[in-house]
Amino acid sequence: MTSLSLKNVSKSYGTVEVLRNIDLEIQQGELIVFVGPSGCGKSTLLRMIAGLERITGGELEIDGMVVNNVPPAQRGIAMVFQSYALYPHMTVYDNMAFALKLAGKSRAEIDTAVRAAADRLQLTEYLDRLPKALSGGQRQRVAIGRSIVRDPKVFLFDEPLSNLDAALRVATRIEIAQLKESMPDSTMVYVTHDQVEAMTLATRIVVLHGGNVEQFGAPLELYERPANTFVAQFIGSPAMNLLEATVTTAGETTTVCTTDGGEAVVPIASGASDADSNVKLGVRPEDLTITESDRFLVAATVEMVEALGETTVLYLKAQNGATSLIAKLPGIHAISRGTPIRLTAAPEKLHLFDNEGRSFLHR
């Protein structure tokens, strides 16, 4: 069942268009993550769903009802802000009860809902405290609790972990994942710029860039079959390497050769028109291996070595210094700076992108 649907939604401030023709169908029970670099419009899109920003084009439906002009409180949504936005002069209890009081619920109903949410988030002993007497993680939980008590159709999270320190971020991320599991029927939309949060939490990820949806799909689909070079380089860390290459043979499988004599047969179909065209050959750092053989993908010179123990990260220059590469090799390797090496990768791990950056798989 569709819980949230965006049809051709766009947003502009005057003549500046910040979001263009966003089309998303979100099913009930999904946790959708909007991810993208700063300024890509992901927070704006979330605020449009919340009703805090006016929608300047297209339609937004929640549970099959167009809500473009419905005020935030009547959309059946709850939002957790990046800054938590707790009411500083109210106790934790009053913070959580505020929305219910405004909705005119009875005292007993409010008490039940607040205590249930507090219990679930281990906040019971803090109910009488003011927000300033809580730690960052506890404040975050209050903010989440405040949205739970309202029992909304859609939860909206605006970078909820970005104010927490690294350790707490991991812990809270797991809490959110457990929260989602305990509420299988609620739909959640989660904005972040952190791809680890995106990959670990999401049912499906929306990658936004420059006001456009670059790709919408399950986390591993984005990793394995990125639709374009932006997604390819945004998902995964370190980012995917892109090599300049030329198609030598098109067909069921595509043969490409890199400019310094490397060659690969990629099991991706291409058309006759692709023959002899310049393409980008994508390969993830963790898929590269060192080879001595003449059948290599790319020859490169080691610029820097980061030995982390479990992995060794090599920073390389290839193709006459024109291309920077990163290789992430498992285990410990004794390689020194300036060493010329040859790298290869399994053919099924290779990606092909055309001149405009679109993947051959998504044309």
Partner 1 sequence: MAANIAGKKSSLTWAVHISVALLVLLWLFPTVGLFVSSFRTADQISSSGWWAALFPSEQNEVYRTGDPDENRVADGDMFVVTGNIFEGAGREIRAWGVSSKAVAAYQPGETAEMKDGESVTLQADGSYVWRGNDKQISGRGQRIFITATVPPEFTVDNYLTILFSGTGQDNMAKAFFNTLTVTIPATIIPIVVAAFAAYALAWMEFPGRALLIAAVVGFLVVPLQLALIPLLRLHLAIGIGKGYMGVWLAHTAFGMPLAVYLLRNYMVGLPRDIIENAKVDGATDFQIFTRIILPLSFPALASFAIFQFLWTWNDLLVAKVFLIDATGSTTVMTNQIVELLGTRGGNWEILATAAFVSIAVPLAVFFAMQRYLVRGLLAGSVK
Q: Give me the residues that bind partner 1 (CB under 8 A), please.
A: 50-52, 71-74, 77-79, 81-89, 98-99, 102-103, 146, 150
Is-contact 321 298, C-beta < 8 A? no
Give 103 or 218: the residue with its C-beta nearer to partner 1: 103
We find the least distance from the C-beta atom of residue 208 to partner 1, in angstroms, to be 21
Tally of CB atoms within 10 A around 186: 21
- Comparing CA positions, the residue from 124, 46, 130, 135 lying closest to residue 95 is 130
Give 102 or 308: the residue with its C-beta nearer to partner 1: 102
Give 44 or 323: the residue with its C-beta nearer to partner 1: 44
Type of residue numbered 179? L
We find the least distance from the C-beta atom of residue 262 to partner 1, in angstroms, to be 52
We find the least distance from the C-beta atom of residue 104 to partner 1, in angstroms, to be 10
We find the least distance from the C-beta atom of residue 83 to partner 1, in angstroms, to be 5
Is-contact 26 3, C-beta < 8 A? yes
Look at the block and give the residue holding tokens 């055309």. Answer: 354
We find the least distance from the C-beta atom of residue 9 to partner 1, in angstroms, to be 19
Burial of 337 (0-12, 13-18, 19+ CB in 10 A): exposed
Instruction: Pull the structure tokens for residue 357.
Output: 């950056």
We find the least distance from the C-beta atom of residue 252 to partner 1, in angstroms, to be 53
Type of residue numbered 218? A
Give 47 or 280: the residue with its C-beta nearer to partner 1: 47
β partners of residue 189: 32, 156
Is-contact 26 182, C-beta < 8 A? no
Give 128 or 348: the residue with its C-beta nearer to partner 1: 128
Is-contact 62 75, C-beta < 8 A? yes
We find the least distance from the C-beta atom of residue 72 to partner 1, in angstroms, to be 5
- Comparing CA positions, the residue from 252, 254, 256 lying closest to residue 243 is 256
Tally of CB atoms within 10 A around 253: 14
- Comparing CA positions, the residue from 3, 62, 49 lying closest to residue 22 is 49
Give 105 or 193: the residue with its C-beta nearer to partner 1: 105
154-158/187-192 β-pairing: parallel
Give 78 or 227: the residue with its C-beta nearer to partner 1: 78
